[in-house]
């Protein structure tokens, strides 16, 4: 049984007792850029069918940790386990092979291409060598994926991406990531700069990913969004673990205190969470 502190804080991942191995387990992850210690002894667990929100102020180390998981900026030290097995992630191809997909905040979509073309960009379907693209199969697969994610506002997969709303564009980017049949999806600020209706659409998308049994890491500054969809909240501060909370039981003030250091943990050491 996991013991919680007042405010909903839980024990650190090493101390927590769980019946199942997490899909992703990080221990002792550290990363330095010259004299700057960007990450120091960071731990993180993400289970199958679980949404874990990674929160913290600017410069807390969230992006660096995601880059370590994705292989863009490999960690200098630490252990990574995926599906219970130790793994090395030193390049983006390593994380992709494991089944880890990342949807970055800029989405990397081509505004002048339609939805189907964006989803299959770089991995276009053909009928064989030297044969024109199989437009029909790509359109069919794109439509099936978007329907599975409950995108009801998109009239055609031949719509130009530059004309879509922010929520629709986010869904297209996630659907593209799902083409590779990942087991984990990392979403980097998916609701940034979106309106209320578009934000609701993206949060519904996160729920769908959890319902499909995927592990989800959600990076967000918006605590309203975090408390709406997250199962657990992991706080980073100054490159270190600063707190971990069960979202259902957490007090917002306790999460904010962990983010700002007002709880007495300035980020200079592992958080003194209760056992």
Please tell me whether residues 209 and 84 are part of one structural domain.
Answer: yes
pLDDT tens over the chain, length 275 residues: 343 343 445 544 444 434 478 999 999 999 999 999 999 999 999 999 999 999 999 999 999 999 999 999 999 999 999 999 999 999 999 999 999 999 988 888 999 999 999 999 988 888 777 778 888 899 999 998 888 887 777 889 999 999 998 888 888 998 899 988 999 999 999 988 788 888 888 899 999 999 999 999 999 999 999 999 999 999 999 999 999 999 999 999 999 999 999 876 654 434 333 32
Same domain for 114 and 89, yes or no, is no
27 and 49 inside one domain: yes
* Residue position matching structure tokens 């929100």: 53
Give the integer Cα–Cα distance in Å for 9 and 120: 42
Domain count, the chain: 2
Looking at the domain assignment, is residue 104 inside a domain? Answer: no
Contact indicator for 236, 242 with CB cutoff of 8 Å: yes
Q: Are residues 46 and 152 in the same domain?
A: no
Please choose, from the candidates 210, 189, 180, the residue with its C-alpha nearest in 3D space to the C-alpha of residue 100: 180
| Residue 105 domain flag | no
> CA 256 to CA 9: how far, in whole Å?
12
Domain assignment present for residue 200? The answer is yes
Q: Are residues 129 and 48 in the same domain?
A: no
pLDDT at res. 155:
82
What pLDDT does 68 receive?
97
Whether residues 66 and 126 share a domain: the answer is no
pLDDT of res. 9: 52
| One domain, residues 218 and 253 | yes
3 state SS of 240? strand
The Cα–Cα gap between 230 and 55 comes to: 11
Q: The domain spanning residue 29 has which CATH number? A: 3.40.50.300
Mark whether 2 and 129 lie in a shared domain: no
For residue 212, tell me if it sits in a domain: yes
Residues 83 and 19 in one domain: yes
21 and 85 in a common domain: yes
Residue 134 lies in a domain: yes
Distance in Å from the first CA to the final CA of the chain: 10
Task: Name the domain boundary from 143, 172, 201.
Answer: 172
**Is the same domain home to 263 and 195?**
yes
Quote the domain boundaries for residue 266.
1-99+182-275
Of 172, 190, 216, at which residue does a domain stop? 172
Both 125 and 32 in one domain: the answer is no
């Amino acid at each position: 049984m996991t013991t919680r502190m007042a405010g909903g804080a839980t024990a650190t991942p090493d101390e927590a007792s769980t019946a199942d191995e997490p899909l992703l387990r990080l221990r002792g992850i550290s990363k330095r850029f010259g004299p700057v210690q960007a990450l120091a002894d960071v731990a993180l667990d993400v289970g199958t069918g679980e949404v874990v929100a990674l929160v913290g102020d600017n410069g807390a180390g969230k992006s660096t940790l995601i880059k370590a998981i994705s292989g863009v900026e490999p960690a200098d030290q630490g252990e990574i386990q995926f599906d219970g097995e130790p793994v090395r992630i030193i390049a983006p191809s390593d994380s992709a092979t494991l089944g880890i997909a990342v949807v970055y905040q800029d989405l990397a979509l081509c505004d002048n291409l339609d939805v189907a073309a964006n989803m299959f960009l770089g991995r276009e379907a053909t009928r064989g060598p030297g044969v024109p693209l199989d437009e029909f199969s790509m359109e069919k697969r794109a439509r099936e994926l978007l329907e599975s994610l409950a995108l009801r506002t998109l009239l055609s997969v031949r719509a130009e991406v530059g004309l879509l709303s922010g929520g629709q564009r986010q869904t297209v980017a996630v659907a593209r990531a799902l083409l590779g049949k990942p087991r984990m999806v990392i979403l980097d600020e998916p609701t940034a700069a979106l309106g209320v209706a578009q934000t609701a659409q993206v949060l519904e998308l996160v729920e769908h990913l959890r319902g499909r049994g995927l592990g989800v890491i959600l990076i967000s500054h918006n605590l309203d969004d975090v408390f709406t969809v997250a199962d657990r909240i992991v706080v980073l501060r100054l490159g270190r673990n600063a707190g971990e909370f069960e979202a259902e039981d957490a007090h917002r003030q306790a999460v904010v205190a962990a983010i700002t250091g007002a709880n007495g943990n300035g980020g200079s050491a592992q958080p003194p969470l209760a056992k």
